[in-house]
């Protein structure tokens, strides 16, 4: 499909989504967020797409977050049910998403990255939740996800100051998986996606769903004993038979994702 505020490319079970508002440093307004929600709805529903990558057009910005100019210019504000990038308020998608951060990821842009499963970054990437500096707060999941990713005290050093964190420090803090030279971050994300695709997509979905929803439980025992639909789907799948069979036959598995 053709979109107004992003581009998409589907190849080899991978969907690459590029936020395409470089003149606004890929900042997002309600129409763009709604469109990205549609993009990820379609990704979630497509049985042939197993991993998604999200990035920003150009080399200056992944996303500068909320498009404050749009609001100042009289643009209509409205509900965005699935949040920034169609991801920050999406809690039931078991397919993995990788953020390829090229340039700044500020406010809602950083919150999009935090809503992804893996973050890779170019050397020029910068991360921040600067909302308090303009009288706001990072309420699209940032204040909840960042402490869970890097611990409360380290998260507070970012959230209570709005300071910019470079990619190398993001890797030290633990929310960035890999830092690569400028211009190589999408290729890096595709390498990570390729590693994921070596695994059964049914197992990947079961793993993500159990891990993410298990965090909602009070303790390990409760999380362990809970029922997860993606786990049930995995044990009923063809991949559940194919994996051990391929191992015993000493050949690469032919995953079907069902």
What gap in Å lies between CA 32 and CA 20, rounded to an integer? 9
Helices vs strands, H then E, count in the chain: 11, 10
209 is catalytic: no
238 is catalytic: no
What gap in Å lies between CA 254 and CA 85, rounded to an integer? 33
Cβ atoms of 95 and 46 closer than 8 Å: no
Neighbour-count burial for 15-52, b at 16+ CB within 10 Å, e otherwise:
bbbbbbbeebbbbbbbbbbbbbbebbeebeeeeebbbb
| φ, ψ (nearest 5 deg) of residue 103 | 90, -150
Catalytic residue among 73, 131, 209, 242: 131
**Residues catalogued as catalytic:** 111, 131
């Amino acid at each position: 499909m053709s979109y107004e505020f992003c581009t998409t490319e589907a190849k080899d079970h991978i969907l690459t989504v590029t936020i395409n508002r470089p003149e606004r440093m890929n900042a997002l307004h309600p129409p763009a967020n709604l469109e990205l929600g549609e993009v990820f709805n379609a990704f979630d529903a497509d049985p042939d797409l197993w991993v998604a990558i999200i990035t920003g057009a150009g080399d200056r910005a992944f996303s500068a977050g909320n498009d404050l100019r749009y609001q100042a210019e009289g643009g209509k504000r409205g509900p965005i049910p699935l949040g920034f990038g169609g991801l920050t308020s999406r809690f039931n998608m078991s397919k993995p998403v990788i953020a390829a951060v090229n340039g700044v990821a500020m406010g809602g842009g950083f919150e999009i990255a935090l809503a992804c499963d893996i973050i890779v970054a170019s050397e020029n990437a910068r991360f921040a939740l600067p909302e308090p500096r303009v009288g706001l707060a990072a309420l699209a999941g940032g204040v909840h996800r960042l402490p869970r990713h890097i611990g409360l005290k380290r998260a507070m050093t970012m959230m209570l100051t709005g300071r910019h964190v470079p990619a190398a420090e993001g890797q030290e803090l633990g929310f960035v998986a890999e830092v690569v030279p400028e211009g190589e971050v999408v290729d890096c994300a595709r390498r990570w996606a390729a590693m994921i695709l070596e695994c059964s997509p049914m197992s990947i979905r079961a793993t993500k769903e159990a891990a993410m929803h298990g965090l909602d439980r009070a303790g390990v025992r409760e999380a362990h004993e809970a029922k997860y639909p993606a786990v049930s789907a995995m044990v009923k799948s063809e991949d559940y038979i194919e994996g051990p069979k391929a191992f015993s036959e000493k050949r690469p598995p032919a995953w079907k994702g069902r």
